[in-house]
A and B are shown apart, each in its own frame.
Chain A
Amino acid sequence: MEGLDEEMERDPTVCVMGEDVGHYGGSYKVTKGLATKYGDLRVLDTPIAENSFTGMGVGAAMTGLRPVVEGMNMGFLLLAYNQISNNCGMLHYTSGGQFKIPIVIRGPGGVGRQLGAEHSQRLESYFQSIPGIQMVACSTPYNAKGLMKAAIRSENPVVLFEHVLLYNLKERIPDEEYVLSLEEAEMVRPGEHVTILTYSRMRYHVMQAAKTLVNKGYDPEVIDIRSLKPFDLHTIGNSIKKTHRVLIVEECMRTGGIGASLRAAIIDNFWDYLDGPIMCLSSQDVPTPYAGTLEDWTVVQPAQIVAAVEQLCK
């Protein structure tokens, strides 16, 4: 939210559009206070019409503004798929480069606490094929602010994936202005034995597993890939050249997920450096059940990560 405020102050063409972003302050309070500060047009409360207000954001972006479109829950952006795929992703190309779409589409997604199947979706796997968009996933207050600022300043359409369970994190962040790179991954914990690639909430499960692994004598290297499209193959590659073992831990579903694409990219580029097959832990291919116990079993838990690393390092 700080990032959004700073960018809106810095550049008057930055505006926000979404349901309940204005007077309500956002369903997760990301836009709290902004409407009072910047007015009802710059922080636009829209009617419930995702496809149309996302398209409106595209039209505004084509004509000089820099809109930040919020999906109240990322899942709602499925209704905006037409605009995201056809217009956000394609218009710069089909217009022969004449129009740019500097739009940021963001929202909370991922599996929460018993929110039910439709409010627990991971759209990164659905959007990843769309040519012309960039996707980033933030995971800490520090990178959330930096990535938000970078996304707003980017000339490309960026989809910023936030996570429902990570809004309450507290962290000390620098007072000075900083902007992160949209295409870079983050080295969370350097190590020697195995490369663990993850993003968003699973980062925390991985770090929890890492504690256990360290006690057992392993030295995992944990990378938060952050940039879901394009992958930061430079950082990932350097890690693989060092450890020769890869484990991907993701929250999206196994079929057609981010892990699936990442595996393919790693095999294409770093085959010679691998000592064994790439392991990938993903969520089950089920609509997220409501029951807490079932929900816990749909996503990857730290114990599974520990077991996977042990198997990889055998």
Chain B
Amino acid sequence: MAAFSAVKISPPQFTPVRSTSQRPASTPVQSIHSSSAAFSSGSFASSKSVLSRPLFAVSAVVSSDKTKSRSAPASHPAVTREEALELYEDMVLGRSFEDMCAQMYYRGKMFGFVHLYNGQEAVSTGFIKLLNQADKVISTYRDHVHALSKGVPAREVMAELFGKSTGCCRGQGGSMHMFSAAHNLLGGFAFIGEGIPVATGAAFSAKYNHEVLKQSKPEGLDVTCAFFGDGTCNNGQFFECLNMAQLWKLPIIFVVENNLWAIGMSHLRATSDPEIWKKGPAFGMPGVHVDGMDVLKVREVANEAIARARRGEGPTLVECETYRFRGHSLADPDELRKAEEKAHFAARDPIPALKKYIIEQGLASESELKSIDKKVDDLVEEAVEFADASPHPPRSQLLENVFADPKGFGIGPDGKYRCEDPLFTQGTAQV
């Protein structure tokens, strides 16, 4: 990678790292980041040695079970057939939906900034499929697939993207602002980092419900998952919330989707210490690094983090090494990333990887998986048809929902505006 002007800046040397928090790990494990270091220096040779090493979940709590962490991936199925098929279908839905978004964008059906999730499905599926309905998910602008994994119907997401009034946010939010009260998806945020405090607040509510309102649940505290990227991890809000979450032992999981790039800024060029998981222990919480291209490994780590949060043991920082196959958004020409890097991660595509695993473990047949593919394709087609057929929002919708209580516009108790300002009241909300 080109250095700044004439000065050659060599990438940091990565030594084998310990993945742990307060107690030292019994098993030192190689950081998978060494593969990224190889790309930044332009050398491809060293990455081959990375590929030949078996990849396994690097988990602070799992690594204490030495046999588990040293064995080759799954000599026994880590999931049941039903679970595996659920994971497969969810990832295929995410991929299919995003591909359709690209098509629709170029056909002029959706506009603005659209950020696609292709390649990162294992993180969304791995975490969100373990959550209950009452658990909360907070995302960023790359939120379509988080919405789908959390259960928001594909047709509502597609209609929202088309800007129709049947969208999950009535067409008022758009690609970057997916919300669903029914599915506890609290956004969808355009500025990076601004969703993390909101997630911290949702986790605070969960703790408050338990301790102050005494509305406890047998399964434990409601968990909040905050998803964000590597770029966000240099933002003040991230650090402020790590502090507060650990201070009050909030039931939150900070999930870093480290796809190595913040638009055109390489993570290594932006970050003094690129190993994000290390920032957890600096605040007193476990920091875990996991292969974000393998849904089963993500799920393994997620399981433990969620259980910790439910028990009231506090937050976890999980760094998922992942990659986006497309550009930052549909407007990004994606010229900076090298072909070798893209090829390396394309080879680790989570969906074929899971498919291979399912077939090899005898959990399902190829034709069953193909029928899931077809089912998803039909669902996505139907979503597009629904969105196409849905109406655009009418003029009267413009001023609705600005305030929960319309008195914020200056409406009197009789329901009418207290003073008729013709320019203001043109086509305004019903009270």
A-side residues, CB < 8 A to B, are 12-13, 15, 39, 41-42, 46-47, 49, 51-65, 67, 82-83, 86-87, 91-102, 131-134, 154-156, 182-183, 227, 230-234, 237, 265, 268-269
The answer to whether B14 has its CB under 8 Å from any CB of chain A is no
Nearest CB in chain B to that of A234: its residue: B418
Query: Can you name the residue of chain A whose Cβ is closest to the Cβ of B203?
Result: A59
Question: Is the CB–CB distance between B136 and A95 below 8 Å?
Answer: no
* Chain B positions within 8 Å of A52 at CB level: 196-197, 200, 236-237, 240-241, 244
- Tell me if B410 and A230 are in contact (CB < 8 A): yes
Interface size on B, residues (CB 8 A): 62
Contact (A132, B402) CB under 8 Å given A51-B236, A96-B179, A268-B423:
yes
Which residues of chain B are within 8 angstroms of A83 by Cβ–Cβ distance?
194, 197
B244: A residues at CB distance < 8 A: 46-47, 49, 52-53, 56
Is B212 on the interface with A (CB-CB < 8 A)? Answer: yes
Stretch among B125-133, B165-173, B306-314 lining the A interface? B165-173
Question: B419: which A residues are within 8 A, CB to CB?
Answer: 233-234, 237, 269
Bound-state Cα–Cα, A64 to B243, Å: 23
* A39 and B401 contact, CB distance less than 8 A: no
B374 within 8 A of A: no
A156→B405 CA distance, assembly (Å): 6
Q: Enumerate chain B residues within 8 angstroms of A269, measured Cβ to Cβ.
A: 419, 421
Question: In whole angstroms, how far apart are the Cα atoms of A42 and B204 in the complex?
Answer: 11
A52 to B226, CA, bound (A): 14
Given known contacts A94-B177, A97-B400, A102-B404, A233 and B200 CB-to-CB distance under 8 angstroms? no
Contact of B212 with A132 in the complex, beta carbons under 8 Å: no
Residue among B188, B196, B240, B423 facing the most chain A CB atoms (10 A cut-off): B240
Query: A41-B211, A155-B403, A182-B407 known; 7 other A-B pairs, CB under 8 Å?
Result: A12-B212, A59-B203, A59-B204, A86-B189, A87-B194, A100-B404, A268-B423
Q: Is there a chain A Cβ closer than 8 Å to B30's Cβ?
A: no
Residues of B within 8 A of A (CB): 136, 138, 167-174, 177, 179-181, 186-191, 194, 196-209, 211-213, 236-237, 240-241, 243-244, 247-248, 400-405, 407-412, 418-419, 421, 423
Chain B residues within 8 Å of A94, by CB: 169, 172-174, 177, 179, 187-188
Interface pairs (23), CB distance under 8 Å:
A55-B200, A59-B186, A59-B199, A60-B204, A62-B201, A63-B136, A63-B201, A64-B205, A67-B201, A86-B191, A87-B198, A92-B401, A94-B187, A94-B188, A95-B177, A96-B401, A97-B400, A97-B401, A102-B404, A182-B407, A183-B410, A183-B411, A227-B410
B241 to A, closest residue via Cβ: A52
- Whether the Cβ atoms of B403 and A132 lie closer than 8 Å is yes
Of the residues A42, A49, A131, A232, contact of B402 by C-beta under 8 Å: A131
Question: Which of A53, A96, A101, A155 contacts B171 (CB under 8 A)?
Answer: A96
Which residue of chain A has its CB nearest to the CB of B180?
A: A98
Nearest CB on A from B401, distance (A): 4
In the bound complex, residues from chain A placing their C-beta under 8 Å from that of B410 are 183, 227, 230-233
Query: What residues of B have a CB within 8 angstroms of the CB of A133 in the complex?
Result: 408
Asked whether, in the complex, the Cβ of B181 is within 8 Å of the Cβ of A93, the reply is: no
Residues of B within 8 A of A54 (CB): 197
**Complex CA–CA separation, A59 to B205 (angstroms):** 8
Whether B421 pairs with A58 at a CB distance below 8 angstroms is no
Q: For residue A233, which residues in chain B have a CB less than 8 angstroms away from its CB?
A: 410, 418-419, 421
- Nearest residue (CB) in A for B193 is A82
Bound Cα distance A52, B245 (Å): 11
B201, A41: Cβ atoms closer than 8 Å: no
Question: In the complex, which residues of chain A have a beta carbon less than 8 angstroms from the beta carbon of B405?
Answer: 154-156
Which listed residue (B186, B240, B407) contacts A51, Cβ 8 A? B240
Instruction: Contact check, B421 vs A42: say whether CB atoms are below 8 A apart.
Output: no
Determine if A39 and B212 form an interchain contact, defined as CB atoms under 8 angstroms apart.
yes
The interface residues of chain B lying within 8 Å CB-to-CB of A154 are: 405, 407
Q: Are B179 and A58 in contact (CB under 8 A)?
A: no
Chain A residues positioned under 8 Å from B172 (CB to CB): 93-96
Check A59–B173 contact: CB distance below 8 A. no
Task: Identify which of A53, A58, A65, A82 contacts B208 (C-beta below 8 A).
Answer: A65
Decide: B181 and A99 in contact? CB cutoff 8 A. yes
Task: Determine if B186 and A15 form an interchain contact, defined as CB atoms under 8 angstroms apart.
Answer: no
CA distance in complex: A134, B407 (Å): 9
* Closest partner residue, chain A, to B198 (CB atom): A59
Q: Is the CB of B200 within 8 A of A56?
A: yes
How far apart are the CA atoms of A64 and B198 in the complex, in Å? Answer: 13
Q: Point out the residues of chain A lying under 8 angstroms from B209, CB to CB.
A: 64
Q: Give complex CA distance A155, B403 in Å.
A: 8
- Asked whether A60 and B169 contact (CB < 8 A) given A94-B188, A183-B418, the answer is no
What 5 A-B pairs have minimum CB-CB distances, sorted nearest first?
A59-B201, A55-B197, A96-B170, A230-B410, A95-B179
Q: Report the nearest B residue to A237, measured CB to CB.
A: B419
> Which residue on chain B has the smallest CB distance to residue A42?
B212
Decide: A55 near B237, CB < 8 A? Known: A12-B213, A46-B244, A65-B205: yes
Nearest chain B CB to A102's CB is how many angstroms away?
7
Is the CB–CB distance between B240 and A98 below 8 Å? no
| Cross-chain contact B201 with A60 (CB below 8 angstroms) | yes
Residues of B within 8 A of A55 (CB): 194, 196-198, 200-201, 237
CB of B242 to closest CB in A, whole Å: 10
A82 to B192, CA, bound (A): 11
Whole-angstrom CA separation of A102 from B199 in the bound complex: 17
Contacts of B204 in A (CB 8 A): 56, 59-60, 65
Distance in angstroms between the alpha carbons of A154 and B248 in the assembled complex: 28
List the A side residues contacting B408 at CB < 8 Å: 132-134, 156, 183, 230
* Docked CA distance A98–B400 (Å): 12
B211 touches A58 (CB 8 A): no
B236: nearest chain-A partner, CB-CB: A51
**CB pair A56 B194 closer than 8 Å:** no
Interface pair B402/A93, CB less than 8 Å apart: yes
Contact partner of A57 (CB less than 8 A), chosen from B201, B237, B403, is: B201
- Tell me whether A62 and B207 are in contact (CB under 8 A): no
A256 to B177, CA, bound (A): 30
Q: Please, which residues of chain A bring their CB within 8 A of the CB of B188?
A: 94-95
Across the two chains, which residue of chain B brings its CB closest to A61? B201
Q: B34 to nearest A CB, angstroms?
A: 33
- Taking a contact as CB atoms under 8 Å apart, the answer to whether A183 and B407 are in contact is yes
Shortest beta-carbon distance, B118 to chain A, in Å? 25
How many Å from the CB of A291 to the closest CB on chain B? 34
> Does the CB pair A51–B237 fall under 8 Å?
yes
Please give me the residue from chain A that is nearest to B170 by CB atom.
A96
Cβ–Cβ contact B409 & A58, under 8 A: no
